[in-house]
Structure 1
Amino acid sequence: MRDINLKATEYFEAVARLGTVTKAAEELGVSPSAVSQQIRLLEEQFGVRLFRREKRRLSLTLDGDRLFQTTTQAFSALRNARGAIGRQRDLRSLTVRVSPSFGVRWLGPRIASFAADHPDWAIRVDATPDFSAFETEAIDCDLRYGLGGWAGLAVDCVMHDLVLPLCSPSYLEDLTRKAEGTSGRLAGARLIDSVKALYRWDIWLAAQRIELPELTYPFRFDRSSMSIEMAKRGGGLALDSALLCLDDIRRGDLVPFAPELPVIEFPAYWFVCPRQHLNRRIVKRFAQWVAEEAAAHAEDGRRVLEAAGCRIRHEPGPGLIAALPA
């Protein structure tokens, strides 16, 4: 590509497309002599004649036509891309990064209603476990799952998590039939480990003051959505977020493993962005919408769990986790 005179190629494409040097010069905003000079340079570079000069009009040679077919497609694509970028820039746009399971199971079912209320906004959702590097990425905000406390950013906890062991009704019946007591049932359960969850089995067991003779994980997933689906299908016992599977609990597809043990509530879901991004109306409006939806969902979750006989215990998740050995 360094051997190709791109300026001369652009001038050539304009002349070939418009048919005259004069029209090409007008489009390019240069003099006709400048266009003619670039055409001569390009012909010298390729070592062939690109035009036949017939009276007051130019016609392409065979070599010129071959070059034109390629260059006009390339420049047309560039012009289209430039126009699309310009149109997109004029739209009110929002780009959100969200953790995958939260994106699939919480944001995904709701974002359509938000888009319907704002039909002239272009919305992009990027579901990835990686936090945004706002200084280098064109991301407006993150919906993060984590401990909070990200320095230099505006951070607002939009929802506390509600974590408890969950399984299918048939799996719970099977465990109850084979063993007595919570510890006995836990010892015989196939534990499903959500490896990126803040509260994993070792932390939860310590919080509940339960000791198992051996802690093993027949199933390990890096997505809560996969752990929840495995538990729902009777594959084992998942320690995960009730708020990510509230509809499954409400339908009875998942049930609390031990309602007598408290559900752990702790701050887990955060709206995060550079402070200056909140100056954009679209970002501020989205932050308000997320907070409203999350508050309503969390309250609904508490009602569903309390109706199932569970009690909820609030804990400062970061403090508990930090106190445990690595």
Structure 2
Amino acid sequence: MYNDLPPLPWLRAFDASARLGNFTLAAKELGLTPSAVSYQVRGLEAQLGHQLFHREHRVLTLTRLGQAYLPIVTRAFADLDATTSNLFGKTAGDEVCLRCLSSLNLLWLVPRLDVYRRRHPDSRLRVLSASWSEMAAGEEIDIDIRFGDGTWVDGEVVPLMHDAIIAVCAPERLTDGTLQELAEGPLIELAGVVDTWQHFFASHEVTTPITAPSLKVDQSLIALELASRRHGTALVAETLAQPYLDSGKLVRATDLSLPARQGHYLVLPTARNSRRPEVETMVLWLLAEAAAGPQAPITHATEGPPVTGGPW
């Protein structure tokens, strides 16, 4: 039985090397030497009869077969870990560590955590903030909320929100002017995103010259604060703008919007057990909150029994 199953240490060496990108980091995680990890991976490749990594300048990249094999190996270890914990009580702790971009954290997640904690009073959460430059997956992160196109390969990727991009300004700046007048600025734009003012005006067939943004920032929260202080009109995701719209600090500069080409995703790192009950509960709650839409009242999630079960 299981005659074709490679030795588990070889599979662990493959899993760690694929996640961490080189044998040195994998060796540190496994308590081995880099040469021992390399030997085990080569043994696995020899048994399988196929190369799993491209090795270039001490950097490992998965081959096509390696990419196909990794999720299977990772899921097998995760299932074994979860079953061991459930049967024998050797849990890794019930704390859930969630990391989120700072603007989404403050404007969307934090206002809703009261709802979650009322429904799950025994929950233990560790909430971290991240910026654009800090989005590489960490070993202790259970749920990583990222913004982009969803093409990450270091974990299970689950779509969360993909809402419209809207233009907002302080009430004092609102006019009955045309889009051409709006294009004259001043404009506030987020750096590092694909949905820009140029795309906004082009999608609505504005052909007059467009003023270059007078301010570029790296976080939606900063753009919204600048707009509320009458520095210009900001182009941001509707979900993030909603608290400012609800408070009256900002209004929509136009009813027109731009369909987003990027969105927010949950990334469940392969290094962690995403099927732990407390992680699954948090994931399902996040998905339910996002599905309600940006204009839903925050208290909506208190209605009805807690959401349980899966898959998501």
Are the counterparts in 2 of residues 158 and 271 from structure 1 also a CA contact under 8 Å?
yes
Are the counterparts in 1 of residues 167 and 257 from structure 2 also a CA contact under 8 Å?
no
Residue 107 in structure 1 maps to residue 109 in structure 2: yes
AA matched with 1:218: S
What is residue 279 of structure 1 aligned with on the other side? 275
| Deviation for aligned residue 1:98 | 0.5
Alpha-carbon distance between aligned partners in 2 of 1:212 and 1:155, rounded to the nearest angstrom = 40
Q: Given the alignment, which residue of 231, 234, 243 partners 1:235?
A: 231
Q: Given the alignment, which residue of 186, 192, 197 partners 1:190?
A: 186
Residue 222 in structure 1 maps to residue 218 in structure 2: yes
What is residue 297 of structure 1 aligned with on the other side? 293
What is residue 4 of structure 2 aligned with on the other side? none
| Deviation for aligned residue 1:238 | 0.4
| Deviation for aligned residue 1:117 | 2.9
Are the counterparts in 1 of residues 200 and 258 from structure 2 also a CA contact under 8 Å?
no
Q: Deviations over 1:234-277 (max 9, x none)?
A: 22100111211213223433222122x34425550111113562
Secondary structure class of the residue paired with 1:217: coil
Alpha-carbon distance between aligned partners in 2 of 1:197 and 1:225, rounded to the nearest angstrom = 14
Q: Given the alignment, which residue of 249, 253, 261 partners 2:249?
A: 253
Return the structure number with greater relative CO, CA threshold 8 A, min gap 6.
2
Change (3 A) 1:265 1:195: closer
Are the counterparts in 1 of residues 104 and 240 from structure 2 also a CA contact under 8 Å?
yes
Aligned CA RMSD, in angstroms, stands at 2.3
* TM superposition score normalised by structure 1: 0.57
Alpha-carbon distance between aligned partners in 2 of 1:113 and 1:239, rounded to the nearest angstrom = 29
Change (3 A) 1:184 1:231: same
What is residue 213 of structure 1 aligned with on the other side? 209
Tell me the number of residue pairs that the alignment of Structure 1 and Structure 2 aligns: 204
Secondary structure class of the residue paired with 2:209: coil
What is residue 264 of structure 2 aligned with on the other side? 269
Change (3 A) 1:90 1:213: closer
Q: Deviations over 1:98-119 (max 9, x none)?
A: 1110011101111232233333
AA matched with 1:168: A
AA matched with 1:242: E
| Deviation for aligned residue 1:298 | 3.6
Larger Rg: 1
Alpha-carbon distance between aligned partners in 2 of 1:107 and 1:244, rounded to the nearest angstrom = 10
Alpha-carbon distance between aligned partners in 1 of 2:210 and 2:244, rounded to the nearest angstrom = 30
For residues 7-156 of structure 1, the aligned pairs below 5 Å read: 91-129=93-131, 130-134=134-138, 137-156=139-158
Secondary structure class of the residue paired with 2:181: helix
* TM superposition score normalised by structure 2: 0.59
Runs of 4+ in 1 over 6 A off after TM superposition: none
| Deviation for aligned residue 1:167 | 0.6
Q: Given the alignment, which residue of 178, 181, 197 partners 2:178?
A: 181
Secondary structure class of the residue paired with 1:238: strand
Are the counterparts in 1 of residues 148 and 264 from structure 2 also a CA contact under 8 Å?
yes
| Deviation for aligned residue 1:169 | 1.8
Are the counterparts in 2 of residues 157 and 267 from structure 1 also a CA contact under 8 Å?
no
Stretches of structure 2 that go unaligned for 5 or more consecutive residues are 1-90, 298-312
AA matched with 2:105: G
Secondary structure class of the residue paired with 1:96: strand
Secondary structure class of the residue paired with 1:278: coil
Percent identity between the aligned chains? 26
Alpha-carbon distance between aligned partners in 2 of 1:292 and 1:267, rounded to the nearest angstrom = 20
Are the counterparts in 1 of residues 195 and 260 from structure 2 also a CA contact under 8 Å?
no
AA matched with 1:268: G
Alpha-carbon distance between aligned partners in 2 of 1:247 and 1:92, rounded to the nearest angstrom = 31
Alpha-carbon distance between aligned partners in 1 of 2:196 and 2:210, rounded to the nearest angstrom = 15
What is residue 167 of structure 1 aligned with on the other side? 169
AA matched with 1:143: I
